[in-house]
Amino acid sequence: MMATPHIAAEKGDFAPAVLMPGDPKRAERMAELLMPDAKVVSDVRGIKAFTGTVDGKPLSVMASGMGQPSLAIYVSELFTQFDVERVIRVGTCGGLSNGVKIGDVIVANGAHYEGIINTHLIPQTHFSAVASHNLVQAALEAATDDMNVVVAPVISRDRFYDVPDEVNAAAARVGTAGAEMEAGALYGLAALHGKEALAVLTVSDHITVKTVDMTAEERETNFQSALKLAVAAALS
């Protein structure tokens, strides 16, 4: 058994590509939808991991939990212990830019980040957390005319509440499309370990424009467009 403190699996149980939503329920839903042959390969702390095939190609799905520290634990172990080569985050975000609306899909080509999650990577330098270009390209090639897809940076935060309005306005002013809580760490870890990463995000609410937010049920079910792009990137 090649178990780590957080993943009870054997080497070879994970596919080279892993889709990673935040919510364990969403991970199970994705696995059931994409892979009729999916098998549970790990179940620790309520975070199940599934591996199966899509169009004959191996794929795994595993939740990250909420926040960059939680994601960093799972992704670090996947990259270093289980031969995973690419992780695609499939999740939701809050819209920041006036150029995005609820239901849009953001392919995050970069991630500004709050906190210190990536500050150790290049001493005395602000690290640029960016996606893998080939995964961005693969996701865009899978987009169809009925999707509203935006390619832009997001901001990855360690806090959900009490963000000052002026901070959100400043982020939007420099072209930041959305705010979420995981992509910055994911991109930093991929760079550190020589792997590939991408975040494909559905805008579930809007932070700077008054509108009606998605319900919790809608967040779980309304991910088809983002999922299609994520799978294309994962299997490219």
Give me the percent of the chain exceeding a pLDDT of 70: 95
Output the pLDDT for position 221.
58
pLDDT at 5 over 70: yes
For the ranges 78-82, 113-117, 140-144, 175-179, the lowest mean pLDDT is seen at 113-117
pLDDT confidence of 223, banded at 50, 70, 90?
confident
CB atoms within 10 A of CB 211: 11
Instruction: Please compute the mean of the pLDDT values over residues 117-136 and round it to a whole number.
Output: 94
Mean pLDDT estimate for the chain: 93
Spatial distance between the Cα atoms of 13 and 41, rounded to a whole number of angstroms: 6
SS3 content of the chain, % helix, strand, coil (to 5): 30, 30, 40
Instruction: Please compute the mean of the pLDDT values over residues 191-202 and round it to a whole number.
Output: 98
Output the pLDDT for position 219.
61
Given the residues 23, 146, 205, 213, the one annotated as active site: 205
Any alpha helices (H) in 35-92, and if so which ranges? 68-81
pLDDT confidence of 116, banded at 50, 70, 90?
confident
3-class DSSP state of 157: coil
| pLDDT single digits (tens) 152-182 | 999 999 999 999 999 999 999 999 999 999 9
pLDDT at 29 over 80: yes
* pTM for the model: 0.94
Output the pLDDT for position 209.
83
Q: For residues 206 and 197, is the Cβ–Cβ distance under 8 A?
A: no
Residue 205: active-site member: yes
Output the pLDDT for position 218.
65
| Residues whose CB falls within 8 Å of the CB of residue 140, separated by 6 or more in sequence, listed in order | 107, 149, 151, 229
Output the pLDDT for position 208.
86
Output the pLDDT for position 2.
66
pLDDT at 74 over 60: yes
Spatial distance between the Cα atoms of 130 and 194, rounded to a whole number of angstroms: 13
